[in-house]
Structure 1
Amino acid sequence: MRTQVVIIGSGPSGLLLGQLLTNAGIDNVILDRVGKDYILGRVRAGVLEEGMVGMLDRAGAGGRMHREGLPHEGFSLAFDGRDHRIDLFGLTGKRVMVYGQTELTHDLMDRREASGGVSVYETANVTPHDFDGDKPYVTHEKDGVTHRIDCDFIAGCDGYHGVSRKSVPQSALQTFERVYPFGWLGILADVPPVNHELIYANHPRGFALCSMRSQTRSRYYIQCALDEKIENWPDDRFYDELRRRLPAEHAGNMIVGPSFEKSIAPLRSFVAEPMRFGALFLVGDAAHIVPPTGAKGLNLAASDVHYLFDGLRAYYGEKSSAGIDAYSDRALKRVWRAVRFSWSMTTLMHRFPDTGEFGQKIQEAELDYLVGSQAASTALAENYVGLPY
């Protein structure tokens, strides 16, 4: 079998890239080691920058998002028992869209099926070959049979633990990493959100985030130790701790209910450079991870797709390799800006083991400056809504 682009990974970035390529008449095949139900069962981010909203529209998969998604024009920073709203639209003229990654993935899968795109699920031992030469190809095993797909390019959209980055010689990679000394304990519950916009809370007991997936489904997080056990956090204990970290007005308004998903996620910042190795391109989590504090992970994957698609379209349509040659540099420039913002938000909002009294005072002064200075609020807002591609 031959195609122009093999995409490894059927998460949002792989599906988005595949749909844009299909719309442009560029042949592509998507491979994934797991099944559709498993992919759709993963609970992930849900705050979309305007750039990603535009990319979904461009792919022809944004209709349901516009009908059911929640446009947000601001969010709250809560500290010292007070609530301070950051007016995203007033400061930048832009909004974010709250729309769950599961729904977004479902929309992209439906669009791919409707447009006749080829996706192979539950295939084993997916392996890229000869991507540093003239004839790259990918092998995979389906139902005990090994298949080979010859191609021009390979897009590694298979996440941090995927095969794409692991296939690159370690001598060709430079990695940068920071592991944070805490995690997020999160729950999903079918209860109305405590506020119509997100609340990021800095409290002596630790960080808290009140988010949502819809008007009837809430996503809540609290900072916790890395060695915490989920079984030690029944719902009642979780809600009690969350209330302690919120201003009284929000704590009093909270409606509680049984959670149907509960997890503890470690936080890290990770970047691998470069993001291109001959015919192999790393996209999204395969190349970079950010802590979720700044809502950038899924959005960074979309900007990678933007740069790679533009490069591939120019290669096939204009016979120019300038775009694919510039892919890594263009993507990494935006990646590092988002890594900086995510690190900054994480440092600002969490209590570190070594924060101490001085560090706590610095956090409080920084928060006070952010909400009291229009220039500082604007800088925060423009990073939150997403820097331009």
Structure 2
Amino acid sequence: MRVKVAIIGSGPSGLLLGQLLATAGIDTVIIDRASREHILGRVRAGVLEEGTVNLMKQAGVGARMEAEGLPHDGFSLAFDGRDHRIDLFGLTGGKRVMVYGQTELTRDLIEQRESDGRPTIYEACNVAPQGFDSARPFLTYDKDGVTHRIDCDFIAGCDGFHGASRKAVPEKAIRTFEKVYPFGWLGILADVPPVSEELVYANHPQGFALCSMRSQTRSRYYIQCALDEKVDDWSDARFWDELRRRLPTHHAEAMITGPSFEKSIAPLRSFVAEPMRFGRLFLVGDAAHIVPPTGAKGLNLAASDVHYLFTALLEHYQGRSNAGIDAYSAKALGRVWKAVRFSWWMTTMLHRFPEAGDFDQKIQEAELDYLTHSRAAETVLAENYVGLSY
């Protein structure tokens, strides 16, 4: 097989890049080590920046998102037993976010690709990008006991933190930066109405909590927990009690509870790999960077990488210029580091750190007090939350 662009990874970034390239007549193949069912079963983020929403529309797969997604004009910061609303729409001159589950976004992209008859190879073993430091890159993989080869012009590594793409880069050619946080998020999904029409981010002496949603009838809730906690130790009743403890009274009393159908603990980390281009191999999304979910930036950063890479490849094939390809890494990383900073700041402001002393706690309280009494500070938060421009 030969294609112009071989994409490793059939998550949102790989699928979105493939769909955008398809609209421009640039042929692709997508290859993934996981099954289709596994990919559609993963529970991930659900807050989309306007840039991500617009890319979905540009790719021709935004109809269900527009019909079922929940536009949000703000969110609440809860501390000291009260809410303080951040007016995203008013502070940013009319920008908002969209609540639409990553699983649903992925489903829309997969179904469109299948409808268009474009190739995706699932359950591929030993995927290996090769020759990307030359003019003739290619992929090899094993499936059903047979080794296959795909020749291409470019390889897009959209295969996540543990994927083959970054591992294929010589160690001396890449530099990584990492911060591991001393806690995790215990999260549940339950078919109950959200406690609030907008997201609630809570800072409490017992730890952080987040009230989110996937729809008007499905809620996604999180609480900060120790890294050594076990999911099996958390019954639904224990989770609901702890969540209510961390929320202002009016939210706790209004909360409707019910059985969860998904429960997991996710560790938090910040990670960046530089550069994001190696000859004809490009790293995209989680293959190059991870952020704690506090700032709702993971999926949206992957989308901005896709924007930069799609624009660069379009320029290469239609404009006969490599300027965009040469600038891809610098452009993507410029936005990545700003989002890493924002996610780190949100995390440090809202969580209780086990090593923090009295001084650290007073600084956190002063930060929250200043933020909620300064329009300038609120504007900085809102501008970053809705997403910086590409």
The TM-score, its normalising length taken from structure 2, stands at 0.99
Q: In structure 1, what is the equivalent of residue 7 of structure 2?
A: 7
Query: What's the CA shift string for 1:269-299, capped at 9, x where partnerless?
Result: 0000000000000000000000000000000
Which of structure 1's runs of 4+ aligned residues deviate more than 3 A? none
Task: Deviation per CA, 1:86-138: give whole Å up to 9, x if none.
Answer: 00001111010000000000000111112221111111111111101121100
Separation of aligned partners in 2, 1:288 and 1:317 = 29
What residue is the counterpart of 2:116 in the other structure?
115
In structure 1, how many angstroms separate the alpha carbons of the residues matched to 2:243 and 2:368? 20
Which residue does the alignment assign to 1:53? 53
1:301 is paired with a residue whose SS is: helix
Structure 1 residue 65, shift from structure 2 partner: 0.4
Q: Deviations over 1:5-28 (max 9, x none)?
A: 000000000000000001100011
Residue in structure 2 matched with residue 204 of structure 1 by the alignment: 205
Aligned-pair identity in percent equals 76
Q: Secondary structure at the match of 1:372?
A: coil
Q: Which residue of structure 2 lines up, in the alignment, with residue 81 of structure 1?
A: 81
Q: String of CA shifts for 1:28-58, please: whole Å, max 9, x gaps.
A: 1000111111000000000000000000000
| Mapped partners of 1:56, 1:143: distance in 2 | 34
Matching residue's letter, 2:173? A
Query: What's 1:312 paired with?
Result: 313
Describe how 1:94-173 pairs up with structure 2 within 5 A.
Answer: 94-173=95-174
Range moving further from structure 2, 110-119 or 338-347: 110-119
Tell me the SS of whatever aligns to 1:104.
helix
Letter in structure 2 aligned against 1:343: W
Moved more, 256-265 or 135-144: 135-144
Task: Say whether 1:252 aligns with 2:245.
Answer: no
- SS in structure 1 at match of 2:107: helix
Partner Cα distance (2:289, 2:353) in 1: 23
Aligned CA-pair RMSD? 0.6
Matched, 1:91 2:91: yes
Written as runs of structure 1 = structure 2, the 5 A alignment for 1:234-249 is 234-249=235-250
Q: Give deviations 1:350-378, integer Å, cap 9, x for gaps.
A: 00012222111111111111111100000
Match of 2:389 in 1: 388
CA deviation vs aligned residue, 1:48-90 (integer Å, no higher than 9, x gap): 0000000000001110000000000000000011100000001
User: Residues of 1 paired with 2:350 and 2:3: CA distance?
Assistant: 47
The residue aligned with 1:72 is 72
TM-score of the aligned structures, taking structure 1 as reference length: 0.99
1:181-192 correspondence runs (5 A):
181-192=182-193
Counterpart secondary structure, 1:205 = coil
Aligned runs of 1:179-328 on 2, under 5 Å? 179-328=180-329
Which consecutive unaligned segments of at least 5 residues does structure 2 have?
none
SS at match of 1:164: helix
Query: C-alpha offsets along residues 190-229 of structure 1, whole Å, 9 cap, x if unaligned?
Result: 0001000000000010000000000000000000000001
Output the CA distance in 2 between the equivalents of 1:352 and 1:293: 15
Instruction: Specify the code of the residue in structure 1 equivalent to 2:39.
Output: I
